[in-house]
Structure 1
Amino acid sequence: MIGQIRGKLLEKQPPEIVVDVAGMGYEIQMPMTSFYQLPAAGEEVTVYTHFVVREDAQLLFGFADKMERGLFRELIKANGVGPKLGLTILSGMSASQFLSAVQHEDVSALVAMPGIGKKTAERLVVELKDRLAKFGKAQDISLPTLPMDESPGQTMVPVNDVREEAASALVSLGYKPAQASKMVAGVYQDEMDSEAVIREALKAAL
């Protein structure tokens, strides 16, 4: 089991990063709530990881802290929830928001995530409410926000590229292409980078 990786952050392409550890590049998929907290490319980063082995692939999922990784591990134990859906849920909600939704049986908040219908949301609440008690009582906090002029690694990118990158990331998280494009168009403002667009699009979807 690979539980933690520390090295140089080589690439950031939401929702995936590449971390160089002693000359070996690890591809790691991250929920956007963790992605927002990354330093600029070229800096050192520590990522808490969960390793998934399938017949056709070996996948690394990364998280900014152990709490979010713990929630991810509980999520993928739930019936009908795989790593991709777990990543989607923790991209649209912070760890605390997800805990709050389960503890307060807020099915409507869970249904807002792509790939989660009402029955799945209700099942998640039933299966996870007791199991998530070990994480303590959730505090209702919003997704991490970064002023645009201080976002790590921000560079001037053509508008079309910013929108396409943001839409591509949303599709990777489970949204349909047309829906992703609409979400991006609804929040995009001049001088926003792709991370800011993704963050605002996911917030607006809740």
Structure 2
Amino acid sequence: MIGRIRGTLIEKSPGQALVECTGLGYEVDIPYTTFFHLPEAGTEVTLHTHFAVREDAQSLFGFVSRLDRDLFRLLIKVNGVGPRLAVGILSGLDAQQFIRCVETRDANALVKLPGVGKKTAERLLIEMTDRIGQLEGQFVPMSSETTGGGSGSVETNTAGYDPRDEAEAALIALGYRPQEAAKAINKVAEKGMASEELIRLALRNMIPAG
């Protein structure tokens, strides 16, 4: 089991990071909540990881905090919730927000997540109510709403590059319909905004606060 990696962040994009460690480059699948906290490429990063092995694939999932990783491990034990859906859940809600949803029985916020229907939301509330006790001691209130990596900074203006297109593609990959993604991005977009800021604000508007 690969539980943690520390190395140089070579590349990052919504949903994935490439980390070089002792000469090896690890492709790590990450939720958007982790992507928003990653440092700039070329700097050192530490990710808490979960290594998943199936007959047809081997995947490494990474998280900026141990709380997120441990919650991910609890989520994939829920009937009908696999690693991809768990990553989707943690892309729309960070660990602390998800825990609040469970504590307040807020099924409406869970249903807003792509891939989570009413029955899945109800199952999550039922099965996770007892399990979140295993996270006791890790749930610490966030001190601020800030994210790593220069929130709102202007991205490199290369020919043909549009942060809105990248942000829309990221939301579509997460499971939202193209029309929903375009509407959400247009609602928050301002001149000079980076794609990660567009994604963060769009998700915040699409997912009610817990």
The two structures share one fold, judged by TM-score above 0.5 = yes
- Equivalent residues of 2:29, 2:62 under 8 A apart: yes
Change (3 A) 1:67 1:99: same
What is the one-letter code of the residue matched to 2:49?
T
What is the correspondence of 1:22-171 to structure 2 with a 5 Å cutoff?
22-136=22-136, 144-146=145-147, 150-151=150-151, 155-157=155-157, 161-171=162-172
1:7-56 per-position Cα deviation (integer Å, ceiling 9, x unaligned): 11000111111001122111111111111111100001011101111222
- Equivalent residues of 1:68, 1:95 under 8 A apart: yes
- Equivalent residues of 2:152, 2:197 under 8 A apart: no
- Equivalent residues of 1:36, 1:144 under 8 A apart: no
Gaps of 5+ in 1: none
RMSD across aligned positions (CA): 2.4
How many angstroms does 1:72 deviate by?
Answer: 0.5
Identity of aligned residues (%): 48
Change (3 A) 1:74 1:157: farther
3-state SS, counterpart of residue 48 of structure 1 = strand
**4+ runs of 1 displaced by more than 6 Å?**
none
Gaps of 5+ in 2: none
Matched residue pairs, number? 205
Change (3 A) 1:86 1:154: farther
Distance between the aligned counterparts of 2:148 and 2:135, measured in 1? 30
- Equivalent residues of 1:163, 1:194 under 8 A apart: yes
Change (3 A) 1:10 1:32: same
